[in-house]
Amino acid sequence: MSSAHLIDRVLAGDTRAVARAISKVEDGAGDSFVLLKALFPHTGRGLVVGITGSPGAGKSTLVDRLAALYRQRGERVGIVAVDPSSPFSGGAILGDRIRMQTLGLDPGVFIRSMATRGNLGGLARATVDAVAILDAAGFQKIIVETVGVGQDEVEIVKTADVSVVVLVPGMGDDIQAIKAGIMEIGDVFVINKADREGVLRTEKELEALLSLAERRDGWSPPIVKTVATESRGVEELAAAIESYREFQKGTDASLARRAAVARWRILELLRERLLARALDAEGADAQLDALALEVADKRRDPYSAVEAFIAAGVLGEPRS
Amino acid sequence: MSSAHLIDRVLAGDTRAVARAISKVEDGAGDSFVLLKALFPHTGRGLVVGITGSPGAGKSTLVDRLAALYRQRGERVGIVAVDPSSPFSGGAILGDRIRMQTLGLDPGVFIRSMATRGNLGGLARATVDAVAILDAAGFQKIIVETVGVGQDEVEIVKTADVSVVVLVPGMGDDIQAIKAGIMEIGDVFVINKADREGVLRTEKELEALLSLAERRDGWSPPIVKTVATESRGVEELAAAIESYREFQKGTDASLARRAAVARWRILELLRERLLARALDAEGADAQLDALALEVADKRRDPYSAVEAFIAAGVLGEPRS
């Protein structure tokens, strides 16, 4: 399929074309820039909802139920799940198969798992690009689900229009750390598994923490209690997401946030481009292998190895 | 303090010098390369133990107890805790204060929380550098604790000599994903909170998963049950760590692993160096701000913004 044809098919909302386009950006294919440049003017119509929280918080079920609700309202839903990946095999862990069982073969739902692939792979960058593709393809709601609270996850969640943080009652001794870490990210908080013991205490703790940290934009993040497995509270979650979206429209903070996100995206892309250019140069790979062996053997330190690599001048020059 | 003096003080094991040196690599200070190059020949003596697992698994307590055990044996222990960071304030979350309460003011224990700082901050790279500093300063055991299972965490754990993965009984619906994601990382598995219900089932599931994935080096990762809050199983954990260390010494896999780690380190350093060089150039920052605003305003897409930045030729040239 030619690039131009692929672009047309994506803009027409063809899910197979969307899948192919996402693979291209995930692989960092050379022509993915052409594709993304052409699609970018068509983005900005869908609502991007980021959902994050600890493993075991029931995010996947919550995402499925929220997606089902949006479907009932006649909207097309894209789901991008950021999987922790195996560092050795490089593949996504769960993949799409399990998710597909719940949401079935509904053509109005597109599900994709993202995982890091190799050294060039900016997982955060690839995820944001996948969201842009779904947006351009006319999906009205795009849900980005991330496992864990790592650096990449935080970056990804920051790029969403509305960020939802999922907690569960009585999570143990890391709860304070997690809460603090995601405090400033959450536009909406969910206490899932709200039929469990300790929900009141978790709610009180959360309220106390939220009251301490006043947001620059003046928004007070609502707390929604859900039991995702029984679809309880999912309508309320959708309403809370919508209310932040409405609030956001009237603030200046929105442009500042978009500019910060744009700066981050440019830096991520720049980082990848510069490294790719350096590694594309003739002989670069062999030199890198040789230096790595020297470092492994303790014949050289990694810092001077980098300097040697740069000094060897195999860095590619701008192609323009 | 001059660089040469700082190097001497670190090599002498002075904890204040160690703290200062780590701050330097965390900030990405220009002279940190000089420092690290000088320290590198003195590394490789300490044992680096990576400990990872989900939030709420009780890692911190386990790390504290393991550190206390090593202290009883007369060894100096360095602890590097990788914290999820606040994306807005950029600081570490819990910091060292809470940890200090348990391990007290023992001068034989050095504790440091690492967090990402700004766009240049390779958290994984900075953490690995901090470990190198502690190693050069003569700490016999260096424990790296990571929260979550994100990409950075995985990278960090891969650089440890021995990687410990901590699970708890009945972690909920993400357990399969986590297990699969960390399966290949774990040299030793811990089921903490082993006084809880469901420990047998978790153990059986883990054994089943481990039996499926044969490791290239032929090692069968042991499973250790602990109740960290009561210091139960901590001696067994130390013994399991030691047994893998012994096993490793006799294998070729050790060099291959070191070479892979070295390659990754060189690439991480290279990525940072190239970006730093690009951003150091005169006018680069202002151009970046201008481009970010254009992208935020939808007057330009991020992909052509990167191309514009590169084409503008403000990229620094090699300094040599």
SS (H, E, C) A234-291: HHHHHHHHHHHHHHHHCCCHHHHHHHHHHHHHHHHHHHHHHHHHHHHCCCHHHHHHHH
Read off the pLDDT of each residue in A131-143 and give the average, rounded to a whole number: 96
Residues of B in contact with A148 (CB under 8 A): 54-55, 148-150, 153
Average pLDDT for consecutive 10-residue bins of chain B (320 residues)? Answer: 88 94 83 89 92 79 93 94 51 43 73 64 81 96 79 74 87 50 79 90 84 80 95 97 90 77 87 84 89 90 90 53
- Highest mean pLDDT pick, A90-94, A269-273, B162-166: B162-166
Q: Which residue of B has its CA nearest to A179?
A: B93
CB contact, 8 Å: B83 with chain A? Answer: yes
- Mean pLDDT of the A70-84 span: 88
Residue of B nearest to A156 (CA): B87
pLDDT score, position B93: 41
Q: Other CB atoms closer than 10 Å to residue A220's CB: what's the count?
A: 10
pLDDT at A310: 86
Band (pLDDT 50/70/90 cuts) for residue A225 is very high
What pLDDT, in 10s, does the model give residues A286-303?
999 999 999 988 889 998
Domains plus CATH for chain B? 44-260 (3.40.50.300), 268-311 (no CATH)
pLDDT attached to residue B140 = 97
The one-letter amino acid code at B245 reads R
Pairwise CA distance, residues A187 & B198, whole Å: 35
Q: Does B305 sit within 8 Å of A288, measured CB to CB?
A: no
Neighbouring CB atoms inside 10 A of A197's CB total 9
User: Which has more confidence, A167 or A221?
Assistant: A221
The model's confidence at residue A174, banded by pLDDT at 50, 70 and 90, is very low
Q: Does B209 touch chain A (CB under 8 A)?
A: no
pLDDT at A185 exceeding the cut of 60: yes
ipTM over 0.85: no
Chain A residues with CB inside 8 Å of B313's CB? 318
pLDDT recorded at residue B318: 40
Contacts of B95 (CB under 8 A, 6+ apart): B83, B113
> Cα separation of A103 and A106, whole Å?
7
Nearest Cα residue to B112 out of B40, B53, B25, B41: B25
Nearest to A275 among B83, B182, B270 (CB): B270
Percent of chain A with pLDDT over 70: 79
Look at B203 and A106; give whichever has higher pLDDT.
B203
